Copies of this chain bind each other. A is one copy, B any other.
């Protein structure tokens, strides 16, 4: 298995699931008369990121990991999303960028030095020890926020097998 196999398809799958969560959350808001902004601003703890922030950080983790491993330049997204359609567009643009990376772009990635500011690692270790835990942190936290709000998402949705 190549590093590609543990990055591009995993990120695209996770981002697609996250986009589906936005649809479910928007439908929930419409059905229950909940203000979408309340869902988008919901936090698990006062000093944790709200739902919008979880989506934005999942997007950034995906983008940055591709850049770190391949050197491909990622588009910049300024974190201005405040609605479900805008969050879905952010996710779609992120998927489009991630999908530009090909297995050939990952050649030599194992030996790259990757500086995460808090720690320096190699391309060989980075996906397993940092990228995947970090990406799924934001996906699972988005899931938790929707679950706590009463949106009908379940473990099968999270795993993409619903």
Asked whether, in the complex, the Cβ of B130 is within 8 Å of the Cβ of A159, the reply is yes
| In the assembled complex, A104 has its CB within 8 A of some CB on chain B | no
| In the assembled complex, A38 has its CB within 8 A of some CB on chain B | no
Asked whether, in the complex, the Cβ of A133 is within 8 Å of the Cβ of B159, the reply is yes
Residue count of chain A within 8 Å CB distance of chain B: 39
B-contact bits for A109-141, CB 8 A (1 contact / 0 none): 010000000110000100111101110110111
Could you say how many copies of this chain the assembly holds?
Answer: 2
| Residue of A1, A129, A155 with highest tally of chain B CB at under 10 A | A1
| Residue of A118, A127, A132, A133 with highest tally of chain B CB at under 10 A | A133
A-B contact pairs, 18 of them (CB 8 A): A1-B110, A1-B124, A6-B128, A9-B128, A10-B128, A10-B129, A10-B133, A44-B144, A45-B144, A118-B156, A118-B161, A133-B136, A134-B159, A136-B136, A136-B137, A137-B155, A140-B140, A140-B144
Residues of B within 8 A of A136 (CB): 132-133, 136-137, 140
Q: Select A141's contact among B9, B48, B144, B150, beta carbons within 8 Å.
A: B144
Q: Which A residues are closer than 8 A to B by beta carbons? A: 1-3, 5-6, 9-10, 13-14, 44-45, 48, 110, 118-119, 124, 127-130, 132-134, 136-137, 139-141, 143-144, 147-148, 150, 155-156, 158-161
